[in-house]
Structure 1
Amino acid sequence: MSDHESWTDSRLLKVVAEGDRRAFEVLYARHAPWLVLRLTRRCADAGVVDDAVQDTFVAVWRTAHKWQGKGEVAAWIWGIGIRRLLDQLRGRSPAIIKDHEDVVVSAEEQVLLGIEYGELGTALNRLSPELRAVVQATVLDGLTSREAGKLLGIPTGTVKTRMMRARGLLREELA
């Protein structure tokens, strides 16, 4: 086992920002499997998921220096991953998707695309990053408060409090 494998995600990402390829490989090996699984829950097309994962890690390599050290690296990677999946889905016109019998756009995929462009997407973007991360983890990702807390590196009670605040702000915004 190399030194890199025992490093925290934060330390790995810091040296990835400095161009350390071995740190990037370890980060990829650590996070790509769960990212594939989570994106596959949102999109049945393995090719689209693979492209989104590849694009995610290209973005991680290129933008590692932008991570501010707040929250969990996994949550930061997930944010990039879901946006890359949406980018992949946006790149396919509904007519083209419908013409392929082996590719089915789920209702969830359509909702995700709607969130990106609709009033809800605008309202979500106006939330603070802390509140938005909780909404994404619990509502969009379907995690429990406990799971979201682990992912985001905050206590379960904080997840519940932030979700309550986010709901109130979203109600006001969408009213």
Structure 2
Amino acid sequence: MENRGGPVVVLLVVRRSLDTADEAELVRRTATGDRHAFDELYRRTSPWLAVRLRRRCADDDVVADVMQETYLAVWRAAGDFAGSAASGSAVGWLWTIAANRLVDAFRRRARQQQAPVPAATTAPAAEDEVMAGRVGQELEQALLTLPPDVRQVLRAMVLDGLSVRETSLLLGVPEGTVKSRARRARIALREALS
């Protein structure tokens, strides 16, 4: 018997099965290396993902880079989503990846925009060095007394220079939680250092 449809028939069958698959199924198929499933996932999700990213970042180059990094991560990590028992929403998983990549892009931009600190032309006074060492030790001890979740918020907002929203995205907690943890950190540090 002669096969008259050949690859075209197979492609149509694959296309129809992808049209009926939800995003979670497309991710699971992507995990097996199914390029058609990945293409379909991209076709369905990239428009809304780009819109969501543009609401948070006006720089089209950054958005384009984040989109590329996100879908590369999806291709590489689809097995992580597909392998978890409580996978949740594939679209939520995709947004989490994109949000983390956007925060990474904000961090890179902040590091690049920081001007180098000019070298001091005079040596600091001995009193200043002693005081800085003492305050530094006290601050270090005070930081160690903070709960880990509060330290994470402090690290993101103070050391990394992230906003409340960026910290919320990075840590995967609501903005109100970030604000309350930052407040707890300030109060605890003030008490420890006074």
Aligned equivalents of 2:26, 2:166: Cα separation in 1: 35
Aligned equivalents of 2:19, 2:109: Cα separation in 1: 38
- Is the alpha carbon distance of 1:51 and 1:114 closer, same or farther for their aligned partners in structure 2, counting shifts above 3 Å? closer
Where 1:92 maps in the other structure, the secondary structure is helix
Where 2:163 maps in the other structure, the secondary structure is helix
- Structure 1 unmatched ranges of 5 or more: 99-108, 126-131, 140-165
Structure-1-length-normalised TM-score: 0.58
Query: 1:9 touches 1:27 (CA, 8 Å); kept in 2?
Result: yes
Q: CA RMSD in A?
A: 3.3
Structure-2-length-normalised TM-score: 0.53
**What is aligned with 1:64?**
78
Query: 1:86 touches 1:113 (CA, 8 Å); kept in 2?
Result: no
**What is aligned with 1:90?**
107
Runs of 4+ in 1 over 2 A off after TM superposition: 93-98, 169-175
**What is aligned with 2:57?**
43
> Would you say 1:111 and 2:163 are equivalent positions?
yes
Aligned equivalents of 2:114, 2:52: Cα separation in 1: 21
Shift of 1:70: 2.4
- Structure 2 unmatched ranges of 5 or more: 1-11, 116-160, 185-194
The C-alpha deviation readout for 1:51-92, integer Å capped at 9, x for no partner, is 001100000000000012522101000000011111122222
Aligned equivalents of 1:171, 1:76: Cα separation in 2: 26
Where 1:41 maps in the other structure, the secondary structure is helix
Aligned equivalents of 1:75, 1:26: Cα separation in 2: 17
| Letter of the structure 1 residue corresponding to residue 99 of structure 2 | I
Aligned equivalents of 1:19, 1:56: Cα separation in 2: 17
**What is aligned with 1:81?**
98
- Is the alpha carbon distance of 1:85 and 1:173 closer, same or farther for their aligned partners in structure 2, counting shifts above 3 Å? closer
Aligned equivalents of 2:58, 2:47: Cα separation in 1: 16
